[in-house]
Structure 1
Amino acid sequence: MNPPNSSHPGPDQALAKVLWSFADVLREDGASGTEYVEQLACLILLKLAHEQSQRPLNPVDVIGYDAWGEIRWTDSQSQLLRYEQTLDRLAVRPGNLGLLFRKAQNRVPDPAKLSRLIDLVDLYQWSEDDSTSRSAVFEALLARLTADPKTGAGQFFTPRPLVEAIVECVQPGVDDTIIDPACGTGGFLIKSFEYLVDHFPPGVTPAQRARLDQGAFFGTELVDTTARLATMNLVLHGVTRADAANSCITVGDALAQPPTQHATLVLTTPPFGRRSVIIGDAYAYYRPDFWTETGNRQLNFLQHVYSLLETDGRAAVVVPDNVLFEGGAGEQVRRRLLAACDVHTLLRLPAGVFYATGVKTNVLFFDKPAPQLDGRPSTKQLWVYDLRSHSSAPTKTSTLGSCDYEDFVSAYRPGRPRNDRVESPLFRSFSVEDLLARDRINLDLQVADPPDEPFAPVEPEADLHHMAQEIASELHSALEELNAVTEALRPYGIHGGRPDRDSAK
C-alpha cells in the first residue's frame, strides 16, 4: 500500500503522523525508530486480538485471554510490568504469535510514556472489516521509518511503486507459490496477495482457496525485528492470521543451505553488499547447488533464486550494477544464468530509488524453462528498458512514483508474447549471441548506444564509475553487518536493564 498523495491526509495518515511523532519522544530514552515501530507492532497486535474477541458476531479468541484488557485497564504504574509479562508469555507460542513476540522486549522503560503510547494505539479500531485502512497506517509508519536517515532501515523496504510495477509485470496467479528469500517487511508478498484479490479468476476451487490461506506465500528474513514487522504487515493486510499455526515468514539465513521448498514465482530484493556474516566469521558460501563460490551476496542470491525455482517458474530480482559487470564469479554466474534461464528483461533504475542513493540498481526478470536438448542457451533475447533516461529520475528529495513506471509496464506487455514488444528510444533488445560475445559477458548495457555500435569499449571514466559503485556497495554492506551484529547482541539486555529470555536459559 502506498500512502495517498493528498494535501489533506485522511484519518489513517493523520494517525500515522501522530504515532510517528511519538518516536522523537522515545529517542530521549535511547529507542531507535526501528525499535519504536517494533514496539507499536506488539501493541497493535494485542489491541487487534482484543477487538476480534469482543465483536458481537463471530468473535475470535486469537491469544486465549484478553491480554490487551489486562494491560489497558491496569494502573499506569503497573502497566509496564504487566506488558513485559505479556511479552514473555506470548514469546513461547507456536506459529505467527511466537514469531511476532519472539525476543520482543519493552523499549519504553518510562511508565508514563508507555501509558501514553497505549492510549495512542487504543484510539484506532484495528479490526475493521476493511483491512486497507489499518494496513495503510502501518505501511505509512514503515515508510516514515525507511525515510528516516537515523535508522538505516531502507535496506528492508523496497519502494512500493517499484514493487507494484514488478508485480503487474509478472502477474501472480492462484496456482503460484510465491517466495521472497530476503523479504524485509514483506512488500512483494503483500502486493502479490493484493494483485490476486484484485484479479481473482472465476471457477477457483475450494482447494485453491485453501492453499492461498496456507501454502501460497513464504518469505525468509535474517533479522528477528524485521521478521516481526513483516509478519505484522502480513497480518494487517489479511495475507495471514495472527493465530496461524504455520508462519509465512522464516527467520534465518536463506543462503545457508539448499532450499527444501520451491516456488513458481520468486520476487526479491537481496541485501546489497559483498559479504555474508555469521557472528564471528565471514565467509563465501559453498553450496553443492551453486554454480560458483563467492562472497558476493547478490551473486549468491541469484544462484539461490535459480535453485528455488521450479521448472517453468519465473523470477524478478533487484540487483546493483556490479552484478552486471563484475568479473570472476560474476562472469560465471551470468554465463550460467543465460544458459539455464530465459533472461528476458532488464529494467535499469536510476540512482535514488533506494535509500542508498550512491548505488544504482536494476530489476532482472527471468524464467526457468526445461533444459534445452540441443545445448543452446535458454535465453534468446534480452530486452533492456532504460529508466535512467526518464525525465522523472529521482533526486535527493524525491522518489519515483507509480506513474513513473507506467511506460515500462506498458512496454513489458504483461501476459502477452514477448515478440509483441516494440523497440523504442528507452527499450531495446539484445541477442544472446551478442551478449555472450561481450567481454566478461558484461550486461551493463546502454540502450542509447547507436544500433550499429552496440558494444562500445568501456572507457576509463566508466571503470572509475563502477569502482565508485562497488565502494558504495561495500560501505552499505558494512552498515548492514553492523546492524546484524547489534541485533545479535540484543540478548544481553542493554535496553531497560532486563536480561533477554534466551540469555537466561
Structure 2
Amino acid sequence: MFEQAFKNIDDALWKEAGCTTELDYIEQTSWLLFLKYLDGLEEDKASIAALEGKKYGYILDQPYRWESWAAPKGKDGKLDQKAAATGDDLRDFVNQKLFPYLAGFKARATGPNTIEYKIGEIFSELKNRIANGYNLRDIIDHIDELRFRSQTEKHELSHLYEAKIRNMGNAGRNGGEYYTPRPLIRAMIQVVKPEVGERIYDGACGSAGFLCEAFDYLRNQGKLSTSDLKTLQTRTFYGKEKKGLAYIIGIMNMILHGIEAPNIVHTNTLTENLADIQDKDRYDVVLANPPFGGKERKELQQNFTIRTGETAFLFLQHFIRILKAGGRSAIVIKNTFLSNTDNASVALRKELLASCNLHTVLDCPSGTFQGAGVKTVVLFFEKGAPTRKVWFYQLDPGRNMGKTNPLNDDDLVDFLKLQKTFADSPKSWSVAAEAIDTETFDLSVKNPNGSEEIAHRSPQAIMEEIAALDAESAEILENIRALL
C-alpha cells in the first residue's frame, strides 16, 4: 500500500511544472509527510493525556491541523468532500496562510531544540511548488492514506523514504552529497561500536543516514530500559547541516526512523572557530561523510589551524577537535588525502597521526558512491594517543559496481571479520608508524601483496579537477590584480 501511494504521489508531482527533478519530488513529499506525522503525534499525545485525566495543549491551532485543512473527516471516517478545500482555494490557503503561520514558529519557539523551532525552520526554508490546487488535493489524499503510528508502519515508510533519498542522490551531479551507501555506514558503525549513553555527532549530516543507522544499531542492542529509550530519543544523536533541503530531509528521515524531535541544527559547521570548542561541546562518537571539492572563503578558513580551501580538510580538523579524549570516529574522505603533497594535506596528516590513533583505513573501490566520480577511503581513529600502526584493507567486491550492482552488506563481511584483529590477508596489511615518512606523512594505499589497484579516474572527476584548478587560478589572478 505504501509503495503504491508513493508512486501515485510521484505521478501527481510529475504533472507540476515546478517539480522537475527527484530533489523536487522528495522536497514536496517531505513537507506533507511531516505535517501528516505531526498530526498523528499530536493525536497520540492527546490520547495519552486524556487517559491520565489531563488536557493536552496542541502545538498547532485548530485551523492549521491536518484534520482541519488537509483531510477533514465526516462521521463515517471518510473525507468530507464539502469541507475539504481544493483547487485555487486549497493552493491559496497553503501559500498565504499555512506556510506563513508555520514559519512563524521559529520566532515563537522557546529554544532551538524544540519541535516548534523545527517546524518554523522547515517552513521558513520551503515553499509549496505545487501550483495546481487540484494536483495538491490529489497528493494530499494519497498522503492521508499513509499510516505511521506503529513501529512496523514507520519501519516500512522509512525504507521507502530511504529509497527516495537514494534515487535523489543518484540523479544529482554529486550523489555522495545526499546519499552514503547504507552498507558502508553500517560497517563503519560496527567498527566504532557506539553505546547507549554516548553522544553521536555528524557535522555534515545531509539526509542523516549516519544518525538513523546508528539509532537502528543501538535500538537493536538487546533489551533497552525506558530510561535507555529516552536517552536515545533526546540525548544521543546530534547533527548539523548547511543546506536547507538536506536539513529538511534529514529531519524527516530521523522522524520516520522513530526519533520524534531530532537534534539537527541548520547551520554551516565550518563557521565555528576551533578555538571556541569547549569540553562540553565534545562528542563520544563522530560519523560523517563531509562534502569535498568545495572552495571555502578566506575569512572562513581563519577558523582553522591548518588553512585550506578544501571543505573536507576543514571538516576533518573540526571532527578531530570536537571528539572527546578516547572518542572514536569514522570519516569518509577522498583517497587523494592520503598522498597529496600540498602543505595543508601534509600538515593535516601529521596532526591526525600525532593526536589520534589512526588504526584502520578502508580503501573503497570506484563506484562505491553512485554519481560521484571520485575514489574514497574511510578513516577510523581514536583521539588521545598517537598512531602506532595503521591497518589497511582494500575492498574488492570482485565486480564493477554501479547503479545495478551497488555495494551490499555481504561485500563488507570480510573487512569486518579481519578488522577485529587487524589480521593480514591478500587484501589487508599493516604499516608501523615508524615506517611512515616524517617529511610527507604519506599514507598511500600500497598493497604489499601485489594487488594494488591502479585508480583510473573518471572523465567527470578529471573535469571537476580542471574546474577546481581554473577557479584556483582565477583566485590567484584576482589577488595579484588587487596588489597592483
Instruction: Calculate the TM-score normalised by the size of structure 1.
Output: 0.78
Matched, 1:25 2:41: no
Determine what percentage of the aligned residue pairs are the same residue.
26
Residue in structure 1 matched with residue 389 of structure 2 by the alignment: 381
Distance 2:124 2:168 in 1: 21
Residue in structure 2 matched with residue 63 of structure 1 by the alignment: 60
Q: RCO greater where, 1 or 2, for CA within 8 Å and sep 6 or more?
A: 1
5 Å-filtered alignment, 1:247-286, equals 248-257=263-272, 258=274, 259=277, 261-276=281-296, 285-286=301-302
Mean Cα displacement is larger for which, 191-200 or 439-448? 439-448
CA offset digits 1:393-436 (Å, max 9, x no partner):
413643111211121112222xxxxxx33210011111111123
Equivalent of 1:412, from 416, 419, 440? 419
Residue in structure 1 matched with residue 374 of structure 2 by the alignment: 359
Equivalent of 2:313, from 292, 299, 303? 299
Check conservation: 1:47, 1:126, Cα contact below 8 A.
no
5 Å-filtered alignment, 1:57-456, equals 57-58=47-48, 61-65=58-62, 67-72=65-70, 73-84=84-95, 85-93=97-105, 94=109, 95-130=117-152, 131-149=154-172, 152=174, 154-200=176-222, 206=227, 209-241=229-261, 248-257=263-272, 258=274, 259=277, 261-276=281-296, 285-287=301-303, 290-327=304-341, 328-369=343-384, 378-387=386-395, 389-395=396-402, 397-413=404-420, 420-437=421-438, 440-450=440-450
Distance 1:283 1:446 in 2: 37
Distance 1:351 1:308 in 2: 30
CA offset digits 1:307-338 (Å, max 9, x no partner):
11010001000001221111211001101110
> 1:429 and 1:15, CA in 2 relative to 1: closer, same or farther beyond 3 A?
farther
Distance 1:298 1:134 in 2: 32
Which segments of 5 or more consecutive residues in structure 2 lack a partner in the other structure?
A: 50-55, 71-83, 110-116, 472-484
Check conservation: 1:183, 1:220, Cα contact below 8 A.
yes
> 1:402 and 1:475, CA in 2 relative to 1: closer, same or farther beyond 3 A?
farther
SS of structure 1 residue aligned to 2:292 = coil
> 1:227 and 1:468, CA in 2 relative to 1: closer, same or farther beyond 3 A?
closer
> 1:22 and 1:166, CA in 2 relative to 1: closer, same or farther beyond 3 A?
farther
Distance 1:249 1:468 in 2: 32
Check conservation: 1:43, 1:121, Cα contact below 8 A.
yes
Residue in structure 2 matched with residue 12 of structure 1 by the alignment: 2
CA offset digits 1:360-403 (Å, max 9, x no partner):
01100000025xxxxxxx1011011101x330341364311121
SS of structure 2 residue aligned to 1:40 = helix
Query: Displacement of 1:342 after TM fit?
Result: 0.1
Distance 2:256 2:367 in 1: 29
AA at the equivalent of 1:440: T
Distance 2:249 2:230 in 1: 25
Check conservation: 1:313, 1:367, Cα contact below 8 A.
yes
Distance 1:21 1:409 in 2: 41
Check conservation: 1:159, 1:353, Cα contact below 8 A.
yes
Query: Displacement of 1:273 after TM fit?
Result: 0.3
> 1:284 and 1:433, CA in 2 relative to 1: closer, same or farther beyond 3 A?
farther
Distance 1:78 1:478 in 2: 51
> 1:268 and 1:135, CA in 2 relative to 1: closer, same or farther beyond 3 A?
same
Query: Displacement of 1:473 after TM fit?
Result: 5.2
AA at the equivalent of 1:63: L
Distance 2:190 2:322 in 1: 21
> 1:396 and 1:75, CA in 2 relative to 1: closer, same or farther beyond 3 A?
closer
SS of structure 2 residue aligned to 1:441 = coil
> 1:180 and 1:477, CA in 2 relative to 1: closer, same or farther beyond 3 A?
farther
AA at the equivalent of 1:138: Y
> 1:152 and 1:319, CA in 2 relative to 1: closer, same or farther beyond 3 A?
closer
Residue in structure 1 matched with residue 464 of structure 2 by the alignment: 472
Check conservation: 1:382, 1:431, Cα contact below 8 A.
yes
Which segments of 5 or more consecutive residues in structure 1 lack a partner in the other structure?
A: 1-10, 242-246, 371-377, 414-419, 480-505
AA at the equivalent of 2:418: A
Q: CA RMSD in A?
A: 3.0
> 1:383 and 1:313, CA in 2 relative to 1: closer, same or farther beyond 3 A?
same
Query: Displacement of 1:179 after TM fit?
Result: 0.5
Query: Displacement of 1:71 after TM fit?
Result: 2.5
> 1:127 and 1:88, CA in 2 relative to 1: closer, same or farther beyond 3 A?
farther
SS of structure 1 residue aligned to 2:93 = helix
Query: Displacement of 1:118 after TM fit?
Result: 1.1
> 1:116 and 1:253, CA in 2 relative to 1: closer, same or farther beyond 3 A?
same
Matched, 1:49 2:64: no
Distance 2:19 2:218 in 1: 41
Check conservation: 1:314, 1:367, Cα contact below 8 A.
yes
How many residues get paired?
A: 431
Distance 2:174 2:373 in 1: 14
Query: Displacement of 1:225 after TM fit?
Result: 1.5
Check conservation: 2:176, 2:372, Cα contact below 8 A.
no
Distance 1:159 1:187 in 2: 9
Query: Displacement of 1:52 after TM fit?
Result: 3.7
